[in-house]
């Protein structure tokens, strides 16, 4: 098997080409359809995913795949590529330039290599387990802010619209909004995670997600010196459905709020 550094060098050009393919759809327009969970899928999602699977197979033939559109292929518990070919599809189809490609290589269901690529700005984020996180090969770190009331937060508002879910979500957010500086909902969680990793945003608060949404991003945040757990302070895994990521001080502030709400 190639080393992680060697795999990283080979994956970069593949992602750039996948980004070019994505941008060709973005510039020319693309139709979409709704999936069962009310999220949407386009021909761009399908074609970019197909391109990535074909080319990543050449780099690491022994690896399996877990991709958003085509599902699981092979034994996910060994080496596995986790792929989101277009995160931020709703932004994409409305001509909003906030979207990305996210891929992670996992070993025993733990990310060891992660990429988030924003093709419009040419932003290539990557992380290798134990070796740090980078933006276009320059080291990155999470925000150093230490005052919770100055936190710039990015949140994820999922497609789930049941009354019980919305009551819980807005109950949490009402408390957090009062105690942080401001928040945004950008609509592409993988890119949100990358922006937390490089300190553009101080923290992320997200719920109701899938492994392909966050496998690469959680490695970016960890390798950038951040802390990322679910709402119960448990480590993030492939079945996690919530996450909070920030530096250690700000992460503790979130845990204090959620802990009090559960008492």
The residue with greater pLDDT, 212 or 162, is 212
Confidence category of residue 93, pLDDT binned at 50, 70, 90:
very high
Angle of helix 163-179 relative to helix 248-262, nearest 10 degrees, comes to 130
Confidence category of residue 83, pLDDT binned at 50, 70, 90:
very high
Mean pLDDT confidence for 136-144: 98
Q: Would the pLDDT of 253 be above 80? A: yes
Mean pLDDT confidence for 160-185: 84
Q: What is the pLDDT of residue 262?
A: 45
Q: What is the pLDDT of residue 260?
A: 59
The residue with greater pLDDT, 3 or 40, is 3
Mean pLDDT confidence for 70-82: 88
Global confidence as pTM? 0.93
Mean pLDDT confidence for 199-203: 98
Which of 89, 76, 75, 72 shows the shortest CA–CA distance to 32?
89
Mean pLDDT confidence for 15-23: 97
Q: What is the pLDDT of residue 156?
A: 86
Q: Rounded distance, CA 70 to CA 82, Å?
A: 11
**87 SS3 class:** strand
Q: What is the pLDDT of residue 74?
A: 84
Confidence category of residue 160, pLDDT binned at 50, 70, 90:
low
Confidence category of residue 263, pLDDT binned at 50, 70, 90:
very low
Q: Give percent of the chain above pLDDT 90.
A: 78
Confidence category of residue 48, pLDDT binned at 50, 70, 90:
very high
Domains of the chain: 4-139 (3.30.540.10), 148-262 (3.40.190.80)
Q: Would the pLDDT of 70 be above 60? A: yes
Q: Rounded distance, CA 95 to CA 174, Å?
A: 31
Show the CA angle centred on residue 239, arms to residues 237 and 240, nearest 5°: 65
In DSSP terms, 139 is beta-bridged to: 134
The residue with greater pLDDT, 207 or 129, is 129
Mean pLDDT confidence for 193-218: 95
Q: Give percent of the chain above pLDDT 70.
A: 95
Q: Would the pLDDT of 35 be above 70? A: no
Q: How many CA atoms, within 13 angstroms, populate the side-chain half-sphere of residue 25?
A: 24
Mean pLDDT confidence for 140-147: 98
Which uninterrupted H or E stretch holds 90? Answer: helix 89-93
Mean pLDDT confidence for 114-142: 98
Confidence category of residue 234, pLDDT binned at 50, 70, 90:
very high
Tell me the CA end-to-end span of the chain in Å, nearest whole number. 49
């Amino acid at each position: 098997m190639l080393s992680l550094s060697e795999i990283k060098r080979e994956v970069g050009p593949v992602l750039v080409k996948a980004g070019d393919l994505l941008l060709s759809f973005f510039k020319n327009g693309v139709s979409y359809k709704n999936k069962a969970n009310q999220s949407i899928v386009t021909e761009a999602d399908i074609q970019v995913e197909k391109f990535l699977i074909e080319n990543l197979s050449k780099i690491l033939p022994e690896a399996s795949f877990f991709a958003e559109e085509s599902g699981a292929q092979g034994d996910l518990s060994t080496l596995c590529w986790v792929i989101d070919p277009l995160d931020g599809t709703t932004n994409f189809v409305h001509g909003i330039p906030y979207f990305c490609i996210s891929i992670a290589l996992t070993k025993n269901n733990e990310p060891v290599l992660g990429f988030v690529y924003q093709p419009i700005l040419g932003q290539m984020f990557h992380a290798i387990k134990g070796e740090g996180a980078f933006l276009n090969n320059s080291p990155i770190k999470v925000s150093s802010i230490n005052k919770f009331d100055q936190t710039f937060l990015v949140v994820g508002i999922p497609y789930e619209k049941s009354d019980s879910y919305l009551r819980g979500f807005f109950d949490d957010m009402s408390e957090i909004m009062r105690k942080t500086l401001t928040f945004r909902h950008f609509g592409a969680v993988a890119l949100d995670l990358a922006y937390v990793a490089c300190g553009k945003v101080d923290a992320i608060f997200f719920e109701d997600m899938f492994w392909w949404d966050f496998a690469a991003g959680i490695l970016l945040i960890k390798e950038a010196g951040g802390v990322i757990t679910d709402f119960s302070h448990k480590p993030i895994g492939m079945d996690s459905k919530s996450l909070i990521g920030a530096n250690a001080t700000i992460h503790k502030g979130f845990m204090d709020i959620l802990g009090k709400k559960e008492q």
